[in-house]
């Protein structure tokens, strides 16, 4: 299998990786959007969990990670429900980790264990403890393949960074003692600013907040009225939307009619209709400077200032005024 990725270029994949990619659970992720409800209000916000999962695997491969860690990267989002993290707002899970809580039954109910077993791997050792995969996952504020890929992927897809920006950043990224590091402070400053664009300018964009808020309301009612159940959320985004649109519940239909690309909203802390806070996400990349590994915030006033902006905005949340929710 030849994979052409928008971030990492062309790679040949075969064996166990190819079988996992072709499996039903991985293919389902083509219908799960990274941004949750975002694609419903802006069709251009269309990066999927499938694309991201492939990207994480390729980044781990590019950085010299083991085949086992590449497999873990490929499977790390396998249990994401429809609309990704929207479910966390539906069930009011502040940790935004519902997909991690259900990974074991999702994996066990799929053909993934059989594929892994065919090649001599136990799914429990690959999937259920990501602490052993130090390139794939790291606690904030460290870099990791998951965090780096979704930032580069979203910001590249949505026109916030250029291919040259990405190339220069990746040239300064490597692994030391199993963890990602950067080789100059300029790369750390650039990534910190790019991450800010991701978690504030995109995740907390007023239109994103609007789409999520209305979809959460619709899904809460649909679950309460038994129009859907939690297992239905293991389908794709569009399949769940079809169930909602086919519902005879007028309250649900009234809400989802207001989720469309013609919505006009603006941020307005003085006169707002919606207010939402999201999980606090900060970044402080490790930098190898003059032979010593240091957090970039120690070396750069710019990184420190950007981190403060993220914390301040996350604490305040986003205040959204609905200018128009009528279809044009």
Mean pLDDT along residues 100-128: 95
Q: Is 315 exposed, middle or buried (0-12, 13-18, 19+ CB in 10 A)?
A: exposed
Q: What percent of the chain has pLDDT over 70?
A: 100
> pLDDT of 52-109, one tens digit each?
999 999 999 999 999 999 999 999 999 999 999 999 999 998 888 899 999 999 999 9
Residue 261, number of CB atoms within 10 A of its CB? 14
Q: Please, are residues 116 and 123 in contact by the beta-carbon 8 Å criterion? A: yes
Q: Please, are residues 58 and 13 in contact by the beta-carbon 8 Å criterion? A: no
Question: What confidence score (pLDDT) does residue 141 get?
Answer: 92
Question: What confidence score (pLDDT) does residue 300 get?
Answer: 96
Give just the sign of the alpha carbon dihedral 63, 65, 70, 73: negative
């Amino acid at each position: 299998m030849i994979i052409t990725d928008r971030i990492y270029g062309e790679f040949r994949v075969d064996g166990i990786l190819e079988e996992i990619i072709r499996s039903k659970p991985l293919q389902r992720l083509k219908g799960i959007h990274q941004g949750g409800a975002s694609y419903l209000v802006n069709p251009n916000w269309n990066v999927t969990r499938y694309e991201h999962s492939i990207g994480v695997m390729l980044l781990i491969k590019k950085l010299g990670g083991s085949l086992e860690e590449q497999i873990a990267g490929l499977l790390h989002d396998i249990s994401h429900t429809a609309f990704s993290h929207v479910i966390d707002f539906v069930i009011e899970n502040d940790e935004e980790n519902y997909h991690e809580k259900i990974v074991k039954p999702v994996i066990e109910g799929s053909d993934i264990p059989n594929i892994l077993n065919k090649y001599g791997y136990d799914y429990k050792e690959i999937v259920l403890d990501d602490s052993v995969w130090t390139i794939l996952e790291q606690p904030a504020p460290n870099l990791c393949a998951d965090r780096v890929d979704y930032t580069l992927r979203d910001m590249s897809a949505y026109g916030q960074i250029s291919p040259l920006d990405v190339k220069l950043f990746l040239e300064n990224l490597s692994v030391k003692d199993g963890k990602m590091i950067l080789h100059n402070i300029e790369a750390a400053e650039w990534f910190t600013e790019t991450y800010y664009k991701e978690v504030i300018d995109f995740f907390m964009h007023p239109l994103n907040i609007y789409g999520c808020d209305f979809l959460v309301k619709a899904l809460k009612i649909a679950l309460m009225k038994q129009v859907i159940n939690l297992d239905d959320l293991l389908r794709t985004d569009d399949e769940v939307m079809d169930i909602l649109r086919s519902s005879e519940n007028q309250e649900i239909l009234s809400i989802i009619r207001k989720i469309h690309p013609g919505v006009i909203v603006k941020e307005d802390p003085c006169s707002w209709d919606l207010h939402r806070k999201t999980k606090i996400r900060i970044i402080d990349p490790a930098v190898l400077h003059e032979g010593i590994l240091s957090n970039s915030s120690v070396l750069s006033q710019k990184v420190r200032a950007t981190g403060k902006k993220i914390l301040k905005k996350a604490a305040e949340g986003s205040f959204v005024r609905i200018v128009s929710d009528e279809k044009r």
